[in-house]
């Protein structure tokens, strides 16, 4: 998988609303990433697909990265260490 956006370091569940993952993306990607389809490659090599449902400033990253709320995956699908990329069409 090329063009890795970030590697998941934190994540939490929002019950029926999906999951939130950090560190997320830089603020200048806000318009590009909203509604995007993502490819998530786990450390064991398994690939899942997710959709960006929302963007949040919940992460306390010093570089102001934005957390992503993802739909279509569970916490088990995208554990810590998962690489997140834009899905290739």
Domain that holds residue 14: 4-86
Q: CA angle, corner 32, sides to 28 and 34, nearest 5? A: 105
Q: Per-residue pLDDT tens for 12-28?
A: 987 667 898 988 888 88
Q: Per-residue pLDDT tens for 27-42?
A: 888 888 888 999 999 9
In the chain, the number of structural domains is 1
pLDDT tier at 1, thresholds 50, 70, 90: very low
Q: What is the CATH number of the domain that holds 72?
A: 2.40.30
Burial class (CB in 10 A: 0-12, 13-18, 19+), 19: buried
pTM of the model: 0.86
Q: What is the percentage of the chain residues whose pLDDT exceeds 70? A: 88
């Amino acid at each position: 998988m090329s063009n890795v956006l970030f590697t998941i370091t934190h994540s939490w569940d929002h019950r029926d609303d999906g999951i939130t993952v950090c560190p997320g993306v830089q603020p200048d990607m806000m318009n590009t990433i909203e509604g995007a389809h993502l490819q998530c490659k786990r450390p064991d090599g398994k690939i899942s697909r997710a959709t960006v449902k929302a963007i949040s400033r919940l992460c306390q990253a010093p570089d102001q990265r934005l957390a992503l709320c993802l739909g279509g995956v569970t916490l088990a699908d995208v554990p810590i260490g998962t690489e997140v990329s834009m899905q290739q069409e």
